[in-house]
Structure 1
Amino acid sequence: MNLDWSYMIDQIPLYKKALILTIKLAFWGILLSTIIGLICSIIQYSKVKVLRNIVQGYIELSRNTPLLIQLFFLYYGLPKMGITIEAELCAIIGLAFLGGSYMTEALRAGIEAVPVTQIETAKAIGLSNSQLIRYILLPQAVTSSVPALGANCIFLLKETSIFSGIAILELTNTTKDLIGMFYKTNESLLMLVIGYLIILLPMSLLLSWLERRVRHAEFGY
């Protein structure tokens, strides 16, 4: 396969810009989805049935509708109702909405893995519900959920490729535009693969290292 290396070198600035935008959108989407997951997992642990039902409804809606459909609703549907949101903000909201449900389930499983004896002991020594959540449940839940949380982060980063559906010039959309203009399919796709590797490979290695650290309880050593 003969590649046009001069073409690839010429397109590096465009791919660099697209790479930075992809990382930016993924960062905010993952951060917000983690916050949503923390809040919703705590609500699921609570005894307030109405709130728990609302969270369960959100999870079912989020996980059973494609991200592309969610983005179309935010970007094309809301303006019909008089609400206009910029494309990048739509992307962040959509990613957070989708990711929040996955983070919630991961953290919920972590909370349920905390031994009942620890919870009973905490209550016996007089810890309030907020103290129980802060000092007993969340630290252990987050620790045991690291593999699932890491997998969700990688999943959400890959989902940024869907943003091309609302005309955001991230890596995938940049590649599609360049192929349409110059017909350099192999070169453009290779640069797309390299772009995602630049993001995903270090992230995957970091998460693997973090998982090992958590497993062996070696923080601070």
Structure 2
Amino acid sequence: MLDWEFIYANIPLYQQALRLTVRLACFGILGAFVLGFLISLIKFYRIPILSQLCQIYIELSRNTPLLIQLYFLYFGLPKIGLVLSSELCAVVGLTFLGGSYMAESFRSGFEAVSKRQYEVGLSLGLTPVQNVFYVIFPQALAVALPSLAANVIFLIKETSVFSIVALADLMYVAKDLIGLYYETDEALLMLVLAYLIVLLPISLLARLVEGRLRHAGFRPSSDFSGE
């Protein structure tokens, strides 16, 4: 049987840890969106040198765990005199990891848009920047949305390793309670529920938006695709 008194007594700890986790996740995911979008534009326009550097970053980021990246930021950088706070390490690490995934999602969206769409935008007198934001990006976003939503959920789940840099996040609180009171089932139940409170609405909202886009027929034109 679950110890409900233990659960009720420790709800405030999980609430505090949840707020910290969500706050850091929001900053990290926002940074990942911005970084990923910029990288996808560089690769979309095939800018020399920068495009190759972005590909190196993507391979490095996607093929190293967030745990190792946080170790490097928190324990490695001080060796060269650069000390970051625990929260900044968490945000930078999540941005570094998430940027590569967001970039690939945006890239797939951009590639799904017909090149003729880009040419038509230019023929109408739009600048390259206006063309991207008013013509290409809305269509690309409709394609990339499911992948972007999956990346958001993935990155929030990755916050479970933040405790390695001495942050009192959800996982830290759960491990602390288990170590102190041996109430494993109760601590893990609250941990699962806390993540569900955050992740389930995001998943449902992403499905709703995707369904609305499909129903509205908001899809990039396939005419002249790749030509």
Which range, TM-score by smaller chain? Answer: over 0.9
> How many residue pairs were aligned?
218
Q: CA RMSD in A?
A: 1.4
C-alpha distance in structure 1 between counterparts of 2:176 and 2:69, whole Å: 23
- Give the Cα–Cα distance (whole angstroms) in 1 for the partners of residues 46 and 20 of structure 2: 41
Q: Which segment drifts farther, 69-78 or 114-123?
A: 114-123
Query: In the alignment, what sits opposite 2:179?
Result: 180
> Which deviations, in whole Å up to 9, do the C-alpha atoms of 1:128-179 show, x marking residues without a partner?
3222212211111112111000000000010000112112111111100010
Counterparts of 2:32 and 2:179 in 1: how far apart (Å)? 34
Q: Distance in 2 between matches of 1:217 and 1:25?
A: 34
* CA–CA separation in structure 2 for the residues paired with 1:119 and 1:218: 20
Structure 1 residues 50-85: Cα deviation after superposition (integer angstroms, max 9, x where no partner)? 110111111011001110000000000011111110
Q: TM-score, normalised by structure 1?
A: 0.95
Counterpart position of 2:198: 199
Secondary structure of the residue that 2:216 maps to in structure 1? coil
The yes-or-no answer on 1:157 pairing with 2:156 is yes
Per-residue deviation, residues 13-57 of structure 1 (Å, max 9, x unmatched) = 101101111111111111110011111111111242111011111
Paired with 1:145 and 1:160, the residues of 2 have a C-alpha distance of 23
Q: Distance in 2 between matches of 1:181 and 1:218?
A: 55
Give TM-score, length-normalised by structure 2: 0.92
The equivalent of 1:111 in structure 2 is 110
Partner of 1:139: 138
**Secondary structure of residue in 1 paired with 2:17:** helix
Provide the C-alpha distance between the structure 2 equivalents of 1:164 and 1:218, rounded to a whole number of angstroms. Answer: 44
User: In structure 2, what is the Cα distance between the partners aligned to 1:82 and 1:104?
Assistant: 31
Equivalent positions of 1:68-107 (< 5 A) are: 68-107=67-106
In 2, Cα distance between equivalents of 1:178 and 1:202? 27
Q: 1:114 to 1:218 in 2, by over 3 A?
A: closer
Change (3 A) 1:47 1:126: farther
Q: Give distance in 1, aligned partners of 2:78 and 2:88.
A: 14
Which residue of the partner structure matches residue 62 of structure 1?
Answer: 61
**Secondary structure, aligned partner of 1:10:** helix
Q: Secondary structure at the match of 2:168?
A: coil
Q: CA deviation at 1:218?
A: 8.2
Name the amino acid aligned to 1:174.
Answer: V
Q: Which moved more, 1:75-84 or 1:42-51?
A: 42-51
Residue identity matched to 1:65 = T
Structure 1 unmatched runs, 5+: none
Shift in Å at residue 216 of structure 1? 2.1
Deviation at 1:207, TM superposition (A): 1.1
The answer as to whether partners of 2:174 and 2:187 remain within 8 angstroms in 1 is: yes
